[in-house]
Chain A
Amino acid sequence: MIVIVAACAGRRIAPSAPEPLPEARERSVDTSPKARPRMIPAEVYLRAYMTWFGGLAPLEVQNRARGKQLFDAWDDYLAALGLPDYRLDLPRQNQTNSLMLATFGRLGEALCVRAAEHDLHKASSDKVVFAFEPPPNPSQQQFAIGFDILHRTFLGYPVDLAPADRVPRFYALYRQIAAHHPRKQPLTADETAWAAVCAALVQHPETELY
């Protein structure tokens, strides 16, 4: 019994003196991108396109976009947009080419012209793309307000975060197109210029890549 008691009477562990915590070191994190920007899948492009057109079904978009040789039928463009063709076992295209950009351009023009007709020319209350009231012959500052809305719509982020010369570059485009279109039909000079700015944004590399 004495032996057991003696064995259990252990030594006390003396607490160590308090020490300051080690200095927090900042760990460097490599945030550089590890993969190239990729083209958005053609399905995503089509879905976004239909949303920009007012959330319509494909055939409704097709019907609305037709007229004045702006558009034909979706079937004509599916392969050029990069969609796979399972009837022929052809895989999707995951890189842009010049014909694909031409197709983006044709679809972009159709979208932006029809949106300008709907939102600006007819001054519809349910605006789908140009969700602002553009002043005629705007200054760069006034232009930037509407441009920011389009920029958020198509590129997904505010124009303030874009390279600083983006607004002046697009404003110059606006001025050039407006000056080139003094007529009022089918769209006014300002409406045509906004449609051109829209057409440039919908084909912008940051719209097509992620």
Chain B
Amino acid sequence: MNRRTALKCLGGSIATLAMRPLWAAPRAGDDYFIFIHASGGWDVTLWADPRNERAGLIEPASTDNTDIAPLARWKSVALDADTSTFEILAPSNTQQRFGPAIGDLYDLRDRLTIINGLAMNTVSHPDGTTYSATGRHLAGGRAVATSIDVAIANERGAEQLLPAVAVQFPSAFVGERLDRRAIPLRVGSAATLAKSLSRSDAYFDTDDRAAITAVLTGESTQLAKHSVFPEVYERIASQHGAQPKLIGGELERAFRPKQLQDAYPQFDYKARNLGAGSLAAAFAVEAIRRNVVRCVGFALGGLDTHNQNYKQHAHTLQELFDTIATLVHLLDATPHPTRNGDKLADRTHILVFSDFCRTPQINLAGGRDHYPNNSALVISPRFRGGITFGKTDAEQLLPADAKRFADGVRPISPPDLLATFLHAFDIEPRAYLRDGDVVPELLR
């Protein structure tokens, strides 16, 4: 090697190291992802973007419109002569501000990345949900882009037994170039997983089912050879090939609801509003611990409160954030399945979003309607904790300009957050997103 070549190599290596943080060394089997859809549209003034004063359109939560009894972090301050509102939680060590519905998640505030003032440009549940998950609005009622969980499963999880599991989560598999193994496994409840995998021992046993599966795999493979579109049959062949690992065995027993509840008693399965979601959270921990998934998405819902049911909105939010806090504590306490000495929390990344937020004013029925603003929450070692990015205006709660993006000064929007999330894991955002800029301020 002559001197010129040696200098070139040295320079190239230094440049590569400078461009690529050490943590970005990709190892497909190391990271896990949990996506949570707070379904129904949440009131951000109760947690991420707290408001406790009347200003412009804003009518804050108060003892008039909110049932404050179950709220652990509600501390009353006077709003007017007859009514109290809440005191904003303002920790001294961060610039973040929280409302009382943040619940137990407040104790983890140093690890929270809050994004406020997300411009939604929609007040439709399906559209807002799809926009948050895919970065594109619906077209003709259909998702036109791949959702974030499928994109990550496609890049980092196709080799897993269950690359993407979606429990009432708005997953979308769109595109011709995706690995078919990343098609999300969508179910209505975490309990369905065990039921679909369970089998009666009365008629057939494991050997019988293996023989049936072998025939079906052979048939699919043979049809693939003769088909103009072999990939469809190849996909089915690989899915049949996975059945012996799935059916009637240890996984099925581990995913039974009773088993999950016994293994993770920390979750509140009888929570008034979100008990079913707790089972999905327990499933996520168990499936990650067993290294059989890459992405788990689930919904924690019940936030659509247009009427007098708004009185319970803060309580529902508190249950949601308590569930997430429990989830994080469990990830802290669970060893990583493939990295000795690491805990799951070191390599598990959580993104929480909702359809949109709710109106700043209380309507005539005593509730809040849909509003084209939103907040989101990330808990990830790759994201800067203890920060809030983005903002809303003081009187209308509408998204305000956050920074200068490539297309000018504007508020942050879901495609920006999704692009940043993909970029954080060394995935090229443009492979999956038409819009959106990476926001380096959010990343470590």
B212-237: which residues lie under 8 A (CB-CB) from chain A? Answer: 212, 215-216, 218-220, 222-223, 226-229, 231-233, 235-236
- The residue from A79, A90, A98, A192 contacting B170, defined by CB atoms under 8 A apart: A90
Query: A163 to B226, alpha carbons, bound, how many Å?
Result: 10
Q: A88-B299, A98-B242, A204-B219 are in contact. Are A77 and B196 (CB under 8 A)?
A: yes
Once the chains are docked, how many angstroms separate the CA of A77 from the CA of B186? 10
Q: Please tell me which stretch of A1-9, A12-20, A100-108, A133-141 contacts chain B, meaning at least 4 of its Cβ atoms lie within 8 angstroms of it.
A: A100-108
A206 & B223 in contact (Cβ 8 Å cutoff) = yes
Q: Is there an interface contact between A89 and B195, defined as CB atoms closer than 8 Å?
A: no
Question: Which residue of chain A is the closest to B225 with respect to CB atoms?
Answer: A163
Residue pair B216, A203 in contact (C-beta under 8 Å) = yes
Contact B215 A97, beta carbon cutoff 8 Å: no
Q: How far is the CA of A80 from the CA of B215 in the complex (A)?
A: 23
Interface string of B226-254 (1 = CB under 8 A from A): 11110111011001101100110000000
Whether a CB of chain A sits under 8 angstroms from the CB of B208 is yes
A101/B208 in contact, CB under 8 A:
no
CB atoms of B200 and A109 under 8 A apart: yes
Q: Is there contact, CB below 8 Å, between B229 and A33?
A: yes
- B443 at interface by CB-CB < 8 Å: no
CB proximity of A141 to chain B, nearest CB, Å: 20
Q: In the bound complex, do residue B197 and residue A102 qualify as a contact, i.e. CB atoms below 8 Å apart?
A: yes
Q: Cβ of A205 < 8 Å from any Cβ of B?
A: yes
- Assuming the contacts A89-B129, A98-B242, A177-B208, asked whether A200 and B216 have C-beta atoms less than 8 A apart, the reply is yes
Flag if B183 contacts A97 (CB, 8 Å).
yes
Q: Any chain A CB within 8 A of the CB of B192?
A: yes
Which chain A residues lie closer than 8 Å to B212 at the CB level? 105, 173, 196, 199-200, 203
Q: Is the CB of A98 within 8 A of B232?
A: no
**Known pairs A88-B299, A169-B218; A95 contacts B192 (CB<8 A):** no
Is there an interface contact between A101 and B198, defined as CB atoms closer than 8 Å? no
Instruction: Give bound CA distance, A93 to B125, whole Å.
Output: 19
Is A76 close to B, CB under 8 A?
yes
A68 at the interface (CB under 8 A from B): yes
| Cross-chain contact B243 with A88 (CB below 8 angstroms) | no
| A160 in contact (CB, < 8 A) | no
Does chain B have a CB within 8 A of A69?
A: yes
Q: A95-B173, A96-B239 are in contact. Are A170 and B247 (CB under 8 A)?
A: no
In the complex, chain A residues whose CB is within 8 Å of the CB of B161: 98
Q: How far is the CB of B424 from chain A (nearest CB, A)?
A: 27
* Chain A residues near B211 (CB-CB < 8 A): 173, 176-177, 196
Q: How far is the CB of A159 from chain B (nearest CB, A)?
A: 12
Closest to A187 in B: B203
Query: Which of B170, B196, B239 has most A Cβ within 10 Å?
Result: B196
Query: Are the C-beta atoms of B222 and A163 separated by less than 8 Å?
Result: yes
Contact pick for A98, options B141, B162, B226, CB 8 Å: B162
B181-213 CB contacts (< 8 Å) to partner A:
183-189, 191-193, 195-205, 207-209, 211-212
Give A165-201 as 1s and 0s: 1 = Cβ < 8 Å from B's Cβ atoms: 1100110010011001100001100001001100110
Partner among B192, B218, B223 whose Cβ is within 8 Å of the Cβ of A79: B192
Chain A residues positioned under 8 Å from B231 (CB to CB)? 36
A residues engaging B (CB < 8 A)?
A: 32-33, 36-37, 68-70, 72, 75-80, 82, 85, 88-91, 93, 95-103, 105-106, 109, 113, 163, 165-166, 169-170, 173, 176-177, 180-181, 186-187, 192, 195-196, 199-200, 203-206, 208-209
Given A37-B232, A69-B199, output 13 extra A-B contacts at Cβ < 8 Å.
Answer: A36-B229, A69-B198, A76-B195, A79-B192, A90-B186, A97-B185, A98-B242, A98-B243, A99-B246, A101-B239, A105-B247, A173-B215, A205-B223
